[in-house]
């Protein structure tokens, strides 16, 4: 009778660990909030969001660049941009920091909740810590971070359905619509639908495979339709395809470069740990799960920005197989389980209120600042004073020029500029094509340059007839044509 009476209580118990890790992650990111403001793309993302709010529509053509003005450009992250713009209007840089930290915290909470379906809390926490560590270099106030909890929820729900040998619920489709409006990475979700569906078919009995395949196919078509529920409709898919068609230019953009193993990194440690796990204990996975891990690993090896995807997907794929491989912990360590009903609700409320109070207190006494390395304020002031209108700039300065209402030669919207333009630009800016640099300056009637202090192009222009260095500081160097009136150099 005692056991029977305890069963409803056990079922009613709720684990507060996801809420705790969300609060801890949020507060940690809040304290180190300036680290989230190190990407120049954040600047133009907010600018585009403000434009969307002002005009009550989304852009279909480029509004900002010097070299691509009027050409087709779809803002596939329009909803994230609007959210960042609202957050910025609400609290300055505090707004984007809080918004970004909240999205990351929610993603970690969801990941832990999915992992706890199969793993005891200590093991689930290790995987969450690994995911956070791998994602850390790419945790920035940008749209892909706002889409991170959606990616975790979508991937976790699909894996849960596959673990049960079922098709996912159509109630998940609004998640895909949300993802498609937040960030162009939704195409990964579409690909995962097919890949994880294979795992469900592998686990199913032969007699059920045809019916299950039809259910997954119907869900996949529904996901494809949901991804088009954006202001751009089916053009959303075309916008995402343009990003994936940049070819060789991926190799010259930092976040799209292949992983570097010349020094030890958390990603290298994760790969070695995964290999050691397979070699020491002979963990056996189904072929579809092996393909999922191999595909995710290949993505991370090819582009460093995919390492965070590796950190999220690999634990989700391994959780169910590991549940029978790792000796289950006794019920005692699951001491984070709270009593059902009012005590659990009060504990959850206390955590939320304490986090909110700490956030308000810290934000009231701390001013978040954007990375000065990406904001050449003084150099742009000099250019504005001279009324320079056609500026050749370093890639990382494009976002700040857009904020200052100056049209950049190039900025972080790589899909707008295309593979050939980017390859030619980086060859010129890196000093690998001096004739190409001079040709770009002449053909585009450039009257000034704004380059980083270590830019090879800046050093070259110091020795090119017809150009002179006008201004330099620790962030940027300004060159102008010799036939312009000189201004005092600092």
Q: For residue 474, is it within any domain?
A: yes
pLDDT tens track for 340-356: 556 667 777 888 888 88
Q: How confident is the model at residue 11 (pLDDT cuts 50, 70, 90)?
A: very low
- 97 and 163 both lie in a single domain: yes
Instruction: Give percent above pLDDT 70 in the chain.
Output: 90
Q: How confident is the model at residue 478 (pLDDT cuts 50, 70, 90)?
A: very high
357, 363, 366, 368: CA torsion to nearest 10: 150
d(CA 376, CA 279) in angstroms, rounded, equals: 51
Residue 31: what pLDDT?
Answer: 93
Highest mean pLDDT among 115-129, 211-225, 276-290: 211-225
- What is the average pLDDT across 48-58? 96
Residues 6 or more apart in contact with residue 417 via CB below 8 angstroms: 65, 67, 68, 410, 425
Q: Please say which residue of 312, 328, 344 terminates a domain.
A: 328
Task: Tell me how crowded residue 474 is: count the other CB atoms within 10 A of its CB.
Answer: 9
Q: Please say which residue of 293, 328, 363 terminates a domain.
A: 328
- 244 and 154 both lie in a single domain: yes
Maximum C-alpha span of the chain: 96
Q: Please say which residue of 328, 360, 385 terminates a domain.
A: 328
Q: For residue 125, is it within any domain?
A: yes
- 400 and 275 both lie in a single domain: no
- Report the chain's mean pLDDT, rounded to a whole number: 87
Residue 293 to residues 152, 254, 275, 318, Cα–Cα distance (Å): 16, 24, 12, 9
Does residue 489 have a pLDDT over 70?
no
Q: How confident is the model at residue 361 (pLDDT cuts 50, 70, 90)?
A: confident
Task: Supply the range of the domain harboring residue 161.
Answer: 16-328
- 54 and 127 both lie in a single domain: yes
Taking a C-beta distance cutoff of 8 angstroms, is the pair 426, 252 a contact?
yes
pLDDT tens track for 273-321: 888 877 776 678 889 999 999 999 999 998 888 899 999 999 999 998 8
Task: Tell me how crowded residue 173 is: count the other CB atoms within 10 A of its CB.
Answer: 18
- 96 and 161 both lie in a single domain: yes
Provide the token pair at 334.
């699951």
- 249 and 111 both lie in a single domain: yes
Q: How confident is the model at residue 243 (pLDDT cuts 50, 70, 90)?
A: confident
Domain count within the chain: 2
Residue 278: what pLDDT?
Answer: 77
Residue 134 CB burial class (10 angstroms; 0-12, 13-18, ≥19) = buried
- 380 and 263 both lie in a single domain: no
Q: For residue 225, is it within any domain?
A: yes
- 276 and 183 both lie in a single domain: yes
Q: For residue 369, is it within any domain?
A: no
Residues 6 or more apart in contact with residue 382 via CB below 8 angstroms: 470, 471, 478, 487
- What is the average pLDDT across 470-485? 86
Q: For residue 240, is it within any domain?
A: yes
Higher pLDDT, residue 332 or 376: 376
Task: Tell me how crowded residue 147 is: count the other CB atoms within 10 A of its CB.
Answer: 27
Residue 23: what pLDDT?
Answer: 93
- 322 and 398 both lie in a single domain: no
Q: For residue 224, is it within any domain?
A: yes
- 278 and 177 both lie in a single domain: yes
- 91 and 34 both lie in a single domain: yes
- What is the average pLDDT across 165-191? 94
Residue 297: what pLDDT?
Answer: 93
- What is the average pLDDT across 424-439? 93
Taking a C-beta distance cutoff of 8 angstroms, is the pair 15, 336 a contact?
yes
Taking a C-beta distance cutoff of 8 angstroms, is the pair 412, 41 a contact?
yes
Q: For residue 407, is it within any domain?
A: yes
pLDDT tens track for 402-411: 999 999 999 9
- What is the average pLDDT across 99-110? 96
- 386 and 315 both lie in a single domain: no
Residue 261: what pLDDT?
Answer: 86
Does residue 1 have a pLDDT over 60?
no
Q: For residue 453, is it within any domain?
A: yes
d(CA 16, CA 337) in angstroms, rounded, equals: 7
Residue 454 to residues 67, 391, 451, 474, Cα–Cα distance (Å): 24, 18, 8, 10
Residues 6 or more apart in contact with residue 188 via CB below 8 angstroms: 151, 309
């Amino acid at each position: 009778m005692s056991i029977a009476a305890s069963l409803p209580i056990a079922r009613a118990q709720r684990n507060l660990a996801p809420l705790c890790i969300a609060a801890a992650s949020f507060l940690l990111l809040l304290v180190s909030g300036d680290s989230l403001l190190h990407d120049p793309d954040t600047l133009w993302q907010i600018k585009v969001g403000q434009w969307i709010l002002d005009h009550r529509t989304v852009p279909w053509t480029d509004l900002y660049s010097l070299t691509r003005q009027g050409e087709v450009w779809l803002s596939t992250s329009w909803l994230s941009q609007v959210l960042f713009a609202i957050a910025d209007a609400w609290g300055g840089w505090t707004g984007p920091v809080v918004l970004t930290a909240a999205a990351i915290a929610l993603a970690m909470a969801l990941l832990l909740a999915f992992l706890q379906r199969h793993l005891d809390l200590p093991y689930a926490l290790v995987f969450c810590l690994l995911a956070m560590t791998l994602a850390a270099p790419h945790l920035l106030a940008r749209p892909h971070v706002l889409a991170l909890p959606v990616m975790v929820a979508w991937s976790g729900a699909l894996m849960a359905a596959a673990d049960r040998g079922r098709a996912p619920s159509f109630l998940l489709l609004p998640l895909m619509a949300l993802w498609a409006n937040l960030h162009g990475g939704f195409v990964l979700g579409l690909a995962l639908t097919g890949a994880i569906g294979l795992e469900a078919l592998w686990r199913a009995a032969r007699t059920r495979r045809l019916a299950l395949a039809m259910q997954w196919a119907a869900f996949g078509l529904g996901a494809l339709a949901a991804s088009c529920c954006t202001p751009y409709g089916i053009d959303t898919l075309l916008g995402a395809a343009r990003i994936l068609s940049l070819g060789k230019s991926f190799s010259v953009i930092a976040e799209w470069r292949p992983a570097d193993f010349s020094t030890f990194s958390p990603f290298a440690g994760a790969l070695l740990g995964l290999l050691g796990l397979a070699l020491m204990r002979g963990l056996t996975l189904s072929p579809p799960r092996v393909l999922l891990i191999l595909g995710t690993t290949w993505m991370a090896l090819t582009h460093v920005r995919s390492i965070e995807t590796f950190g999220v997907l690999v634990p989700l794929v391994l959780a169910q197989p590991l549940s029978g491989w790792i000796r289950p912990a006794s019920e005692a360590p699951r001491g984070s389980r709270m009593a059902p009903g009012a005590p659990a609700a009060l504990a959850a409320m206390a955590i939320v209120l304490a986090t909110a109070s700490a956030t308000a207190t810290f934000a009231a006494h701390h001013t978040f600042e954007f990375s000065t390395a990406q904001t050449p304020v003084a150099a742009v002031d000099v250019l504005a004073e001279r009324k320079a209108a056609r500026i050749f700039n370093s890639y990382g300065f494009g976002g700040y020029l857009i904020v200052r209402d100056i049209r950049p030669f190039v900025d972080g919207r790589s899909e707008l500029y295309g593979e050939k333009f980017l390859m030619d630009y980086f060859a010129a800016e890196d000093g690998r094509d001096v004739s190409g640099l001079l040709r770009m300056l002449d053909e585009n009637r450039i009257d000034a340059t704004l380059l980083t202090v270590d830019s090879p192009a800046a050093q070259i222009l110091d020795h090119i007839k017809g150009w002179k260095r006008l201004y330099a500081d620790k962030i940027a160097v300004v060159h102008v044509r010799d036939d312009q009136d000189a201004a005092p150099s600092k």
